[in-house]
Each structure stands twice: as C-alpha cells, then as structure tokens.
Structure 1
C-alpha cells in the first residue's frame, strides 16, 4: 500500500497562510490602529493588535505570552503534521487539521513580526460587538468545528448501524 500523501494538505495550509498574510498586509497598509471602516450594518474593518490568545486572553500578561503562544503553536503544528502523515487519506480529518495548522502558523507569523496578532474583522449586532478576528482565526475556528464534528461522526455511524 502506498504511503498517504500529505503534500496536498500542506499546500492547502500554505495557501491559507498566504491569504491570511495578504489580508493583513492589505489592512495594515490602509488602516491605522483603532480606525474603523464601515462595511455593512453588521460588519466593520478595524485594525487591532492582540497580544493574547482568543478573546484577548492573557493580552495584558506583560509580554511572556508572546513566546508562550508562539512555542505552543509550533508544538501543535508539529503534532498536526505528524497526525496528517498518519491520516492523510482521511479527508475530513486532514481538512480540519490543515485549517487549524494554517491558522496557528498564520498567527505565529504575526507574533514574530509584530509581537501581537493582527485582527481586523469586526462583526456586530444590536450593540453587541464580537471581538475582532482575522482569516487565521477563522481557519482555526472552522477547523476546530469540523474536527469536533468528525469526532462525533463515528458515534453516529455506530448508532445508525445498531438501529438498523
């Protein structure tokens, strides 16, 4: 049996990292920190720099979190690559892991370059503002949801077989 092909999954991750970085370059060239640009009734562009993790977790921790999250992202990325090598033929799992890999590394680039993650997409409704995020964050979120659904799928499949 030939070895599973990891290359397409790594190419997907690289393309998504490129899209993430290109979108951040575009925003950095056009907005000042804190500047808000109206896009739609529920959507703004706003340039922010997040020194923490999701929802600005540990953003005011004094600087050590930059390197902690960078090392953590590299460790998770290494685990993902190893897992992709083992399961490259499993489409759903590999897709979800590739999205998470791209998001993690896209944000690592920012942490190394700027000391913080560049966020710029802001959604809001009825006075509630979701924390600003970026393409990498979206990839991580979609990948995590797909991964969770993938982990639930075998249970559904087993239950369906038992009920027939």
Structure 2
C-alpha cells in the first residue's frame, strides 16, 4: 500500500465517521435510541473520557475539566505519534498489512480527536434537545468536546440463571459498549496486527528474503530495459 492509497483510506474513514457523528448530533437527543434490528440499535451517547467512559478525575485528585484537558492533549500527542509511525512504515516500504493496520488506527484516532478538540466549540448540548451545528451557545470550547458514539449491538440481552454463582439473577448483555466508526477502524487495525503479526512484523530473515526478491526484480527490469 502506497501513500496515496493510505491517505484515501484515511479520508474515507474520516468522512464516514464525521458525517455519522454530525447527523446523530443534529437529529438525536442524548440517550435517544432507534432499533434497526433486534440485535442492532442506533443509540446516541457522548463520551467525555477515555475508553469505556473512564475519566482521569475518577483516578486522580483533579477536576473533571482538568482531566478532560489532559486527556485531549495526550490524544493529540498520540495521534501525532501514530502519524509518524504511519509515515515511517510507508517510507520504509513495510508490509502492506502493517501499513493498512496503522492507517486504520491513525484514521480512527484522528476521527475521535476531532470530536474532542472541536465539537464543544461548534455544537450546543444534546440533553433534552437536538443539538445545533455552529451554535451561538456551544456546550464547551476547544479541547473540551465530547466524543459521539452511536453503534450499539446488544446481540444477547438476557438474565443469568439463578444457579450461576454470584451472577445468578443479574442481567447479561452482549455486546454492551456503544462505539462509532472511528472506534471500529481502531479495533480493526489492532485486530489485523494481532492476527497477522508475523506478516506485519517479519523477522530479519524474511526481511532479507524480501529485500533480495525486490533487488532481483529490479535488476531484471533494468536488464530488460537495456
């Protein structure tokens, strides 16, 4: 995968991610849900923290606003780091599977950071109302936006049998998290790295074989041209 294909993939993911988020913000109230299938719902929530809705203020003696600012700044550095990693994998002509995975992770991280940096500045709140884009009364400011999530797959929604120790009688739902297109891209990228680890990170012997193959093909092309 070359730079153009990587950028095209990133652009497509960003467009799908941001269009879906803007649509949800301007058509749904916070907490509103629409059933698409029995196991798939569009359910609008906002995440002001890290994964699973965790907040730094839950673990550190700081205010929620300070925790949000620290988290957003950290995300900015993380996105910059992933961007550099992507640039290096393309520059070094790394395996296509690695470039694909890093492209997906970068696109997803960038999609969510756009929410964190800008959404608080361009939307008003969604509690009890449908938000307005480019509102005169935004709910936050730069770095204080909330990430929009809407994809919900409660494929199993039941209750544990009474005879199950500790969990008996309690509700069980799979899959519980609500996520977005950007989260899907990140998870897919990480999954590719885990499943195709050996292809993404070939050992030195494999790298040598690849280099020899490329060199041989290059020499053959030169000889043919002559």
TM-score using structure 2 length: 0.61
1:108-159 CA-partner distances (Å, limit 9, x unpaired): 111111312110011112241521100000011111111122213458xx9x
Range with bigger deviation, 60-69 or 10-19? 60-69
1:91 aligns with 2:99: no
- Which residue of the partner structure matches residue 119 of structure 1? 149
- Which of the pair is proportionally richer in helix? 1
CA contact (8 A) 1:16 1:102 kept: yes
Take 2:186 and 2:110, find their aligned partners in 1: how far apart are those partners?
Answer: 10
Question: Following TM superposition, by how much is the alpha carbon of 1:66 offset from its aligned partner in structure 2, in angstroms?
Answer: 2.5
Distance 1:20 1:73, change over 3 A: same
Is there any run of 5+ residues in structure 1 with no aligned partner, and where? 159-164
Query: Number of aligned pairs?
Result: 152
Give 1 or 2 for the bigger CA radius of gyration.
2
- Which residue of the partner structure matches residue 136 of structure 1? 182
Take 2:92 and 2:44, find their aligned partners in 1: how far apart are those partners?
Answer: 39
Distance 1:132 1:100, change over 3 A: same
Question: Following TM superposition, by how much is the alpha carbon of 1:15 offset from its aligned partner in structure 2, in angstroms?
Answer: 1.4
Aligned to 1:87, what secondary structure does the other structure show?
coil
Question: Following TM superposition, by how much is the alpha carbon of 1:53 offset from its aligned partner in structure 2, in angstroms?
Answer: 2.3
Is there any run of 5+ residues in structure 2 with no aligned partner, and where? 59-63, 120-144, 159-172, 207-226
Which residue among 144, 148, 153 is the counterpart of 2:194?
A: 148
CA contact (8 A) 1:51 1:60 kept: no
Take 1:123 and 1:96, find their aligned partners in 2: how far apart are those partners?
Answer: 24
TM-score using structure 1 length: 0.81
CA contact (8 A) 2:86 2:99 kept: no
Take 1:45 and 1:10, find their aligned partners in 2: how far apart are those partners?
Answer: 29
CA contact (8 A) 1:17 1:102 kept: yes
Question: Following TM superposition, by how much is the alpha carbon of 1:21 offset from its aligned partner in structure 2, in angstroms?
Answer: 0.6
